Amino acid sequence: MTEAFAGIANHENKNARCKFDLRNVIETLNGYGKDYFIILAHVDQKNGFFECSDSVMSDIKETADFANRVIGLQKLRNRESLERFYRCFSYHCACVEGSDPKAMDQIGKGDRTYIKIGDLSYDAVKFALIDFSNRVVCKDKPKTTHGYVKSISFEGGRLDGTTIELSPELNTFIGIRGSGKSSALEVLRYALDLKPSCDVDYKNNLVDITLGSGGQVIVKVVDKYEKEYEIRRIVKEKTSIVDANDKDLGISIDTILHNILYFGQKDLSQGASFEAELLDKLLGDNIKSSVEDTSKFYEKMSESLKSLLAIKNIPDEISDLETTKSNLNHKIRIFEEKGIAEKLSKQTAFDLDRQKINEIGCEIEKTIKDIKDCLKKITINVNMFDEYNSEYNAKEIEEARGILSSIIQIIENMKRETDTVDGNHAEYKSILKSIDVKIESLKGEFAEIKRQINDPQEDIEAYPELKIKLQETEGQLKKLSDSLTKKNFFENSFRTALRNRNELLQKQFKLYETAVKKINDSQSELSVQLGFKGDKEKFKEYLKLDFRGSSIKDTKYQSLVDNFSDYAALIEDVLIDGGVKCKEKLTETEYIKLREKIEVQYQDLLIKETPNSVEMFYHNKPLKQHSLGQRTSALVLFILTQKENDVLIIDQPEDDLDNKVIYDEVIKSICLRKKDIQFIFATHNANIPVLGDAEKILVAELSDDVLKIDQGNIDAPETHKQIVSIMEGGQEAFDKRKKIYSSWR
């Protein structure tokens, strides 16, 4: 300042011009051998930078270091000026606000610019201005609009007394192998009640070792409404959630943090079916919660099949009963031909009357019991509207209250009527007693008649029993015949429930298709194709497992898979359509065994849906044809395309990736998405924290069974040293690579 305004008195108070032009300013500053940057002030105002002609700007462009030194334009108001700057200088720079306060209390009164920095230093500010698209915002301060983990505190174990503060954006745990990065992530996973998909025992044991016996982890979380909660979990105990007033809320974690995703080491390089499982993990909860539950249709199908199987043997039972009836009639005719039936007609009539009254009485007793059991299950009560007041629909609420009272009154009347029915039933049973009294009084008369018959060839006592047995047999035949007429009803009931279930599954599938289309349209590297009930290999796997011992060969199973979409369709063919399709594919022996197994297992088989097929294409090539690293890259990209997740936790996502893929696709996706998702990674690849511009870098070091976590960020000098030491092989190796890369350039 002294040199630029030499000889100009009181320059600070009269907006005086300095004696250098812009070229001289840069040359003079360069001569000091210090780092600096320039922000051009009031660029659109009088005497501002954009009053320069294009020829002057072209001349300025030739000034050494202009592009490296000029990194900001202050109070730019004209978009054409911005376009002109780029046209002349071939680069963009930060647009910032600013003021010329004459006193301390005037600072910040005007328009504001917010810069994201992790260290109160010149270097951090300069880098933020250079990386302005990610680090500079004018006017409105950025707000976090998603839920996130604010901190993790440890009580006991290797991290006793440690609290790790996290950023709502990108957090990376770094350290050499075996330094404890995974330990911290697994404890967080445990606190959030997330289940590992593989190496379950190892990961749970890691939690036990890290927290120690009786140890506790406390996770502070913030929801999208900026309300703060604590998630607490003691080893071997359940998770509890408390609010800011330490009140236990008894709520689930997903009411605070939406759809947390966790992937441990090697989770992303699992088998071929992982793609379908991942899609369901990412989208399944939202989609399934938006459509009707399918379980009621499975219940209806199961009930229909149970009824059908119950009447399956009715024709044989009817045939047996008809034979029994014929035999009874034959025996009765013998008594009739001898005149015995006529002589015993009075006793027989009494016995038949008693039998009929008793039979119907049993039905009455069973019906009364069913009604009482049903009434006991009723939970509706007159207090359901108590203390409820509507601000806008008072009239309707009062009307609903009146209808509820009427319903309750009817139910109460029904309960009272059961007492009346009980009385009637008691009267009914008294009729049976009355008949018994009459029969008792006639015993002598009946005995005299039997003595008069005196036919040693016939069992006189058997005749009344034959007549009773005939009456029972005829009653059973009528019941079975009535049941047989319901066969069509049960078959149609099954088919209707099956159709409704299929329509619901198709609705779910369409929602998956819509979600996948958004994923496919959001980027070009990855595409996903779905097939309705298309995972035939899974269906075949089910068949082989469930029908073991049926001697059906693989080719026959494949034929079944090709001809039936799922178990429900197969069961419909076998139990309702008489196995029309199955019999074309199987031998008679194979079909009989198949049917027997279905009849025993149909309830369990019905609920086994054939999954939709999920095929991923990475750079227009099926994922399964790529290398392990490329497959993992595609899955990471797939995860990063999601917008419905608050938190994503991945332990060493780079294990199966190469550096080019990490930067070209993964890092770029992270940088774009981290304002909407909190990323928590454990990594030993420098590209993720450095090129990802990590807001929080946590350096893990395990020594003498004590785990230490140093907390820094990408702007902190101490963190720079740790990154170079841990991830670049030390300063000497880093400097040597820097020289080599510079010579290549």
Number of Cα atoms under 13 Å in the Cβ half of residue 731: 4
At 379 the pLDDT is: 84
The CA–CA distances, whole Å, from 362 to 154, 359, 458 equal: 68, 5, 33
Contact in structure between 532 and 506 (CB atoms under 8 Å)? yes
Lowest mean pLDDT among 99-113, 209-223, 321-335, 628-642: 628-642
Residue entry with tokens 């039997």: 450
Distance CA(629)–CA(527), nearest Å, equals 17
Q: Which two tokens stand for residue 561?
A: 């898979």
Q: Taking the CB of residue 225, how many other CB atoms lie within 10 A of it?
A: 8
At 545 the pLDDT is: 93
Calculate helix-pair angle for 487-522, 274-289, nearest 10 degrees: 110
Contact in structure between 96 and 73 (CB atoms under 8 Å)? yes
At 277 the pLDDT is: 75
Question: Which of 179, 170, 267 shows the shortest CA–CA distance to 688?
Answer: 170
Question: What's the pLDDT tens digit per position in 88-104?
Answer: 999 999 999 987 787 88
Q: Mean pLDDT over residues 260-264, rounded? A: 87
More confident residue, 127 or 281: 127
Q: Cβ-count burial of 607 within 10 angstroms (0-12 exposed, 13-18 middle, 19+ buried)?
A: middle
What single-letter amino acid sits at 184? A
Confidence of residue 487 (pLDDT cuts 50, 70, 90): confident
Lowest mean pLDDT among 80-84, 339-343, 486-490: 339-343
Please enumerate in sequence order all residues whose Cβ is within 8 A of that of 399, keeping only pairs 6 or more positions apart, or say none: none
Distance CA(87)–CA(91), nearest Å, equals 8
Contact in structure between 54 and 78 (CB atoms under 8 Å)? no
Helix or strand (DSSP H, E) at 164: strand 163-165
Confidence of residue 731 (pLDDT cuts 50, 70, 90): confident
Distance CA(407)–CA(404), nearest Å, equals 5
SS3 for 578? coil
What single-letter amino acid sits at 383? N
Contact in structure between 128 and 716 (CB atoms under 8 Å)? no
Q: Which two tokens stand for residue 602?
A: 């149909």
Please enumerate in sequence order all residues whose Cβ is within 8 A of that of 118, keeping only pairs 6 or more positions apart, or say none: 124, 695, 712, 713, 714, 715, 716
Question: What's the pLDDT tens digit per position in 287-316?
Answer: 766 667 788 899 999 999 998 888 877 777
Distance CA(539)–CA(530), nearest Å, equals 16
Number of Cα atoms under 13 Å in the Cβ half of residue 338: 17
At 272 the pLDDT is: 52
Judge whether residue 81 has pLDDT over 60: yes
At 655 the pLDDT is: 60
Mean pLDDT, all residues of the chain: 87
At 209 the pLDDT is: 93
Q: Mean pLDDT over residues 232-252, rounded? A: 92
Helices (H), 564-649: 567-571, 582-585, 588-606, 628-640
Q: Mean pLDDT over residues 658-676, rounded? A: 81
More confident residue, 732 or 129: 129
Give percent above pLDDT 90 in the chain. 40
DSSP 728-739: SS-HHHHHHHHH
Question: Which of 720, 717, 745, 744 shows the shortest CA–CA distance to 734?
Answer: 720
At 169 the pLDDT is: 95
Angle, CA of 27, 32 and 33, to the nearest 5°: 100
Q: Which two tokens stand for residue 175?
A: 């350290």
Distance CA(275)–CA(180), nearest Å, equals 29
Judge whether residue 262 has pLDDT over 70: yes
Question: Which of 191, 244, 189 shows the shortest CA–CA distance to 217?
Answer: 191
Report the relative pairing of strands 621-622 and 613-618 from DSSP bridges.
antiparallel
At 289 the pLDDT is: 67
At 380 the pLDDT is: 86
Contact in structure between 570 and 597 (CB atoms under 8 Å)? no
More confident residue, 17 or 156: 156
Angle, CA of 134, 140 and 142, to the nearest 5°: 45
At 389 the pLDDT is: 86
Compute CA 564 distance to the chain's CA centroid, rounded to the nearest angstrom.
28
> What phi and psi, each to the nearest 5 degrees, are found at residue 104?
-60, -40
Number of Cα atoms under 13 Å in the Cβ half of residue 530: 21
Question: What's the pLDDT tens digit per position in 400-457?
Answer: 989 999 998 998 898 888 888 888 988 888 998 888 888 888 888 878 777 777 666 6
The CA–CA distances, whole Å, from 174 to 339, 672, 706 equal: 107, 22, 16
Confidence of residue 589 (pLDDT cuts 50, 70, 90): very high
At 62 the pLDDT is: 81
DSSP state of 610: P
Give percent above pLDDT 70 in the chain. 96
At 278 the pLDDT is: 75
Question: What's the pLDDT tens digit per position in 350-408?
Answer: 888 888 888 888 889 999 999 988 888 888 887 888 888 888 898 998 899 899 999 98
Question: What's the pLDDT tens digit per position in 538-555?
Answer: 999 999 999 988 889 999
At 539 the pLDDT is: 94
Q: Which two tokens stand for residue 35?
A: 């780092």
Question: Which of 702, 697, 742, 737 shows the shortest CA–CA distance to 718?
Answer: 697
Q: Mean pLDDT over residues 655-659, rounded? A: 63
At 658 the pLDDT is: 64
At 163 the pLDDT is: 95
| pTM (two decimals) | 0.73
At 710 the pLDDT is: 93
Q: Taking the CB of residue 141, how many other CB atoms lie within 10 A of it?
A: 7
Judge whether residue 271 has pLDDT over 60: no
Kindly tell me the sign of the dihedral angle through the C-alpha atoms of 630, 631, 634, 639.
Answer: negative
What single-letter amino acid sits at 582? C
Q: Taking the CB of residue 570, how many other CB atoms lie within 10 A of it?
A: 22
